[in-house]
Amino acid sequence: MTRTIVAPIVLVLSLSTIVGVSNFSTASIVSAQMSTSVGKMHLDEGIKVLKTGDTRGALMHLHMADKILSKIASSPATTGRMHLDEGIKVLKTGDTRGALMHLLIADKILGKGS
């Protein structure tokens, strides 16, 4: 009689582990998508602020976007971040047009989703 009680408990623990792992994977995907959205939002704000001539304000948003996107391993996030980093680098030299070129490419790439 003890065996019939132990087997269902083991089965229940195994199923809960499977469900837990499945939920974790789904949560990770959703988290990466949300992070990409937040990173893109900061990128968009950085572009908008840069267009007004506020380089310092733009850099604040661009650095925040870079920090958020650095935690995401998807191909669009990585490629978008590469252009974001180039945009930041170019902006620091004072080349607003060159920076906007890279930032708009990053924005387009990130708009595709992760």
Asked whether the beta carbons of 39 and 65 are under 8 A apart, the reply is yes
- Taking only the tens place, the pLDDT of each residue in 67-98 is 999 999 888 899 999 999 999 999 999 999 99
Asked whether the beta carbons of 9 and 42 are under 8 A apart, the reply is no
Average pLDDT over residues 96-106: 97
Asked whether the beta carbons of 36 and 77 are under 8 A apart, the reply is yes
- Domains in the chain: boundaries: 35-110
Residue 98 tokens, joined: 């060159």
pLDDT reading at 10 higher than 50 = no
Superfamily of domain 35-110: IL-4 antagonist (De novo design) like domain (1.20.120.660)
How far apart CA 77 and CA 68 sit, in angstroms, is 10
Asked whether the beta carbons of 32 and 74 are under 8 A apart, the reply is yes
- Taking only the tens place, the pLDDT of each residue in 18-55 is 445 445 455 555 455 677 889 999 999 999 999 999 99
Q: What is the pTM of this model?
A: 0.70
